[in-house]
């Protein structure tokens, strides 16, 4: 199934994903909140968790994000998951909706971070979950 999903994608590496984002493309982080809290986030990436991705990005959906319009059908959308597996399925699903610029980040967030690209890391709570005085 993964190979079939990837057949229609031109997957990109971290450097190309950053270049696409700098040239009007959109990085879409589909990782759950716990992974983002643990590992950090890509500055400027749209956060749309996997379970709501299709209807938030489908320009014809009444539940789409307010910024999503017809330009999304051809705009580069680079889907980011943790290691580049779920993002392949998500990008293939978006292409099936007509969002032809959808692809994914090979190696996911982990490849982005390993490439030394910018990451925002939240300050974790101290042990016990309380706040510091």
pLDDT digits (tens, 9 = 90+) for 12-37: 999 999 999 999 999 999 999 999 99
Predicted TM-score (pTM) of the model is 0.89
Residue 124 DSSP symbol: P
Spatial contact of 74 and 101, defined as CB atoms under 8 Å apart: yes
Tell me what the mean pLDDT of segment 107-131 comes to: 80
> Given the DSSP bridges, would you call strands 46-47 and 77-80 parallel, antiparallel or unpaired?
unpaired
Residues of the chain with pLDDT > 70, as a percent, come to: 92
| CA–CA gap between residue 52 and residue 4 (Å, rounded) | 22
- Name the CATH architecture for the domain at 2-114: 3-Layer(aba) Sandwich (3.40)
Instruction: Give the pLDDT of residue 30.
Output: 98
Q: What is the average pLDDT score of the chain? A: 91
Spatial contact of 43 and 118, defined as CB atoms under 8 Å apart: yes
Tell me what the mean pLDDT of segment 74-93 comes to: 96
Cβ neighbour number for residue 118 with a 10 Å cutoff: 12
Tell me: pLDDT of 131 over 60. Answer: no
Instruction: Give the pLDDT of residue 133.
Output: 39
Domain ranges of the chain: 2-114
């Amino acid at each position: 199934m993964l190979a079939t999903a990837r057949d229609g994608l031109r997957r990109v590496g971290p450097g190309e994903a950053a270049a696409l984002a700098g040239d009007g493309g959109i990085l879409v982080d589909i990782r759950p909140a716990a992974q983002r809290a643990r590992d950090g986030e890509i500055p400027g990436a749209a956060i749309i968790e996997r379970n709501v991705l299709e209807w938030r990005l489908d320009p014809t959906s009444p539940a789409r994000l307010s910024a999503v319009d017809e330009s999304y059908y051809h705009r580069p959308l680079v889907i980011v998951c943790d290691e580049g597996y779920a993002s392949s399925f998500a990008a293939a699903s978006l292409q099936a909706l007509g969002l032809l610029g959808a692809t994914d980040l090979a190696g996911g967030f982990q490849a982005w971070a390993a490439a030394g690209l910018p990451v925002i890391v939240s300050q974790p709570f101290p042990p016990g979950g309380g706040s510091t005085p």
